[in-house]
Amino acid sequence: MDTVKNMQRAIDFLEDNILDNLSSELIASQAFMSSFHFQRTFSVICGITLGEYIRNRKLTLAGTEVISTSAKIVDIAFKYGYESHESFSRAFTRFHNVSPMTARSQGEINSFNKISVKSILEGNLSMERLRERGYSVKENGTVYYTTDLDKTLKWFEDVMGWYGGIDEKDEQGNGVYGCLLPMPDELVNLKIATFNGIHMFYGEPNKQVVSFIRVDNIQNLHGYVTKNGWQDITDITTQPWGGKECAVTTIDGSILRFFQLD
């Protein structure tokens, strides 16, 4: 995911220049994003605003200097961008729960570590399904018809390990349109992952092949589906053109063909 790498590049740049008065525009430019989009993406992924992150990191580094050096507190305050000893002391106390002098005498502070975007995403509960299923969808973009969007959505979640939601319902509350996604929707919405899911509409199912989907780790796909109790999946076969294929018949009787390029 290039966006993840670019986000980390911006964070690394910020960390390398933490003592400078960096603008959000300059930081965002390291990720090749606008300031607005970068800050929004940063907040969603990291659970903290860019401004809060910078403040917490500066106070962490300042705290380390307070307890590990004999530098004057006022000099440390100026170094980390505070205009006075008093304003630094107030911010320091709020963050570390002790004053700078008390921290120096006790040798203990709170800390806020540098963020790793990759680690956050790998630890996100919405990513658990990705790690468990062990396969990824590379190319797709299907229109899929079903007379029960709720039932079909649950099947894709439970059997295939996908994500989804129903975006439009009729006056009776029945789903008429939704999306089925191989990636968590927050990553798609933030453009960290492209849309390569399925557009799901209300209508009579096409009980035939409705999609030819490229995946990585097709063996993991097969194992994941069968482990979840769905047996309507063909064996993996090697095709004359060199790729591997298998097909899953869905709960609606439609067929999803999966292939892997070797």
Check if the beta carbon of residue 65 is closer than 8 Å to that of residue 71: yes
Asked if pLDDT for residue 167 goes beyond 90, the answer is: no
Backbone angles phi, psi at 176, to 5 degrees: -120, -20
Sorting pLDDT into bands at 50, 70 and 90, what band is 8? very high
Q: What is the DSSP letter of 245?
A: E
Asked if pLDDT for residue 221 goes beyond 90, the answer is: yes
Asked if pLDDT for residue 174 goes beyond 70, the answer is: yes
Sorting pLDDT into bands at 50, 70 and 90, what band is 18? very high
Assigned CATH class of 124-260: alpha beta
pLDDT at 187: 67
Q: How far apart are CA 145 and CA 183, in angstroms?
A: 21
CATH superfamily of 2-106: Homeodomain-like (1.10.10.60)
14-18: average pLDDT: 96
Show the tokens assigned to 229: 């109790």
pLDDT at 2: 72
Q: How far apart are CA 36 and CA 190, in angstroms?
A: 12
pLDDT at 127: 61
pLDDT per residue over 181-216, tens digit each?
Answer: 888 766 665 555 667 789 999 999 999 999 999 998
Asked if pLDDT for residue 228 goes beyond 70, the answer is: yes
Q: Are strands 142-146 and 136-139 parallel, antiparallel or unpaired?
A: unpaired
Sorting pLDDT into bands at 50, 70 and 90, what band is 132? confident
Q: Which residues pair with 200 in a beta bridge?
A: 144, 178
Window from 145-154, 156-165, 190-199, 218-227 with minimum mean pLDDT: 190-199
Proportion of the chain above pLDDT 90, given as a percent: 63
pLDDT per residue over 64-119, tens digit each?
Answer: 999 999 999 999 999 999 999 999 999 999 999 999 999 999 998 999 989 888 77
DSSP string, 162-201: -EEEEEEE-TTS-EEEEEEESS-HHHHHTTSS---SEEEE
Cβ neighbors of 197 (< 8 A, separation 6 or more) are 137, 140, 141, 162, 164, 179, 180, 181, 182, 183, 188
Residue closest to 262 by CA, chosen among 247, 240, 235: 240
pLDDT per residue over 34-47, tens digit each?
Answer: 998 898 888 877 87
pLDDT at 186: 62
Single-letter amino acid code for the residue at 167 = D
Could you tell me where the DSSP H helices lie in the chain?
Answer: 2-16, 24-29, 35-46, 50-68, 73-79, 85-96, 100-106, 117-123, 128-133, 149-155, 185-189, 218-227
User: How confident is the prediction for the chain on average, in pLDDT?
Assistant: 89
Domain ranges of the chain: 2-106, 124-260
Q: pTM above 0.75? A: no
